[in-house]
Copies of this chain bind each other. A is one copy, B any other.
Amino acid sequence: MAAAAEPEQIEKFLDGLKYDDKGLVVAIAQDVDTGAILMQGFADRTAVRSTITKRQATFFSRSRQAQWTKGETSGNFISVKSIHLDCDKDSLIYLGVPDGPTCHTGAHTCYYSQVDGDDGAAAVEGGGKHGQEEALTTLYELEETIQKRRTEAVKEGDKPSWTRKLLDNPELLCKKIREEAGELCETLENDEGKERAASEMADVLYHSMVLLNLQGVGMEDVLAKLRGRFGTSGVEEKANRPPKSKQAHRTG
Residues in chain A within 8 A of chain B (CB atoms): 1-6, 9-10, 12-13, 16, 26, 28, 30-37, 39-40, 52, 82-88, 91-93, 95, 103-105, 107, 110-118, 120-122, 124-125, 127, 133-135, 137-139, 141-142, 145, 159, 161-163, 170, 173-174, 177-182, 184-185, 187-189, 193-194, 197-199, 201-206, 208, 211-212, 214-217, 221-227, 229-230, 233, 236-237, 240-241, 250
Given contacts A13-B124, A142-B230, 18 further A-B contacts (CB under 8 A): A13-B122, A26-B40, A28-B28, A30-B135, A32-B137, A32-B138, A34-B35, A52-B121, A87-B104, A137-B223, A138-B226, A145-B230, A161-B237, A163-B236, A181-B208, A188-B215, A201-B212, A202-B226
A76 to chain B, nearest CB (A): 14
For residue A74, give the distance in angstroms from its CB to the closest CB of chain B: 13
- Do A212 and B189 touch (CB < 8 A)? no
In this complex, what residue of B is CB-closest to A38? B86
Task: Rank and list the top 3 A-B pairs by shortest CB-CB distance, nearest first.
Answer: A35-B35, A181-B181, A5-B121
Q: Which residues of B contact A87 (CB under 8 A)?
A: 103-105, 107, 110, 112-113, 127
